[in-house]
Amino acid sequence: MRPDSWNTSGALLLDGTRMRERMLAALTLKPSWSRLNIHSMTVTALLFASYAEALGSDRVELACAESATVGEVVAQLRALPGGAALPPSPLVAVNLTYARADQRVASGDEIAIIPPVAGG
């Protein structure tokens, strides 16, 4: 071995070419889950009043897993810019029927996120 292949602590270093190859290989590897179709359906979230203002739209198309629940859809909305304005457990309706957080959603469902309403 050449003396310049050792660093001051005595550990063997890889030569520049081999290190570069390993780094490029590591960057181009894709995890096996990337081939899975995790986002296999689309739902539409309908937003009203302050929720629509916070998210900048009255309707958001979301890609989600086939087994997604109302709670998971709300979590996705809360992760968007402005989504922190939504409470963790807002009043929700799926296809015009009130829904609980553990209810499953289906492709094409409309999920309405209903803000608090006061009136007289």
Longest dimension (CA), the chain: 87
Does the predicted model carry a pTM greater than 0.75? no
Average pLDDT over residues 1-25: 48
Per-residue model confidence as pLDDT tens digits over 90-114: 999 999 999 999 999 999 999 999 9
Residue 24's contacts (CB-CB under 8 Å, 6 or more residues apart) are: none
**pLDDT at 87 (0 to 100):** 94
Alpha carbon distance 89, 70 (integer Å):
10
Task: Indicate whether 50 pLDDT > 90.
Answer: yes
* DSSP string over 69-86: BHHHHHHHHHHSTTGGGS
Domains of the chain: 3-32 (no CATH), 41-114 (3.10.20.30)
Per-residue model confidence as pLDDT tens digits over 70-88: 999 999 999 999 999 999 9
